[in-house]
Amino acid sequence: MTLMRSLALALVLCAALALPRFAHAADPCQLEITANDQMQYDKQSLSVPASCTQVILTLHHAGKLPREAMGHNWVLVSGADYNAVANASMSAGLANEYVQPGDKRVIAHTKVVGGGQTTSVTFPTSGLKAGGDYRYLCTFPGHNALMHGTFKFG
Ligand code: ZN
């Protein structure tokens, strides 16, 4: 292999490795969280700066179990509504993504995904107060005890 070809190959490899990370770091308004078959999120807190006018949250399910057995969603609420939404959502059913239709306390939520699936939600921050008390949880029945975290805005 010539030196030029080696250099070209090295550059291509570098670009392939580096690009996805740069794409992430470039936008602080884009969040990612991963859930698994052990009923866990990989992050206990998420934060976005107050300069974000909207947030894009992507939820990955890194497990293998189907959504009927080990489905996960990501639901954003204020701290004051956490328990009420957790209780109300359990009975909403999988067909409603385990969120009561029209529940005004739910600030944003994703669909329920199963193993190997990814989903995302885009929501405006206009209803959020900088420094407010916000939390996220998975509302699949029985999951929120383990699957929850704090969401910082600003
Ligand atoms: Zn879950």
How far, in Å, is the centroid of ligand 1 from the Cα of 38?
Answer: 9
pLDDT band at 1 (very low <50, low <70, confident <90, very high): low
Distance set, CA 47 to CA 31, 44, 56, 136, 147 (Å):
8, 10, 12, 11, 17
How far, in Å, is the centroid of ligand 1 from the Cα of 69?
Answer: 10
How many other C-beta atoms are found inside a 10 Å radius of the C-beta of residue 82?
A: 19
Q: For the whole model, what pTM was predicted?
A: 0.84
How far, in Å, is the centroid of ligand 1 from the Cα of 124?
Answer: 24
Q: Are strands 148-153 and 45-48 parallel, antiparallel or unpaired?
A: parallel
Residue tagged 């990814």 (tokens): 118
* Domains present along the chain, CATH in parentheses: 29-153 (2.60.40.420)
Pair 112, 72: CB distance under 8 Å: yes
What is the per-residue pLDDT for 91? 94
How far, in Å, is the centroid of ligand 1 from the Cα of 102?
Answer: 21
Question: Mean pLDDT, to the nearest integer, of 26-53?
Answer: 96
What the block records as the tokens of 121 is 């939600």
How far, in Å, is the centroid of ligand 1 from the Cα of 41?
Answer: 8
Asked if the model's pLDDT at residue 43 lies above 60, the reply is yes
How far, in Å, is the centroid of ligand 1 from the Cα of 97?
Answer: 11
How far, in Å, is the centroid of ligand 1 from the Cα of 140?
Answer: 5
pLDDT band at 21 (very low <50, low <70, confident <90, very high): very low
Q: Are strands 54-61 and 75-78 parallel, antiparallel or unpaired?
A: unpaired
Output phi, psi for 87, to 5 deg.
-70, -45
The CA distance from 98 to 101, in Å, is: 9
What is the per-residue pLDDT for 87? 97
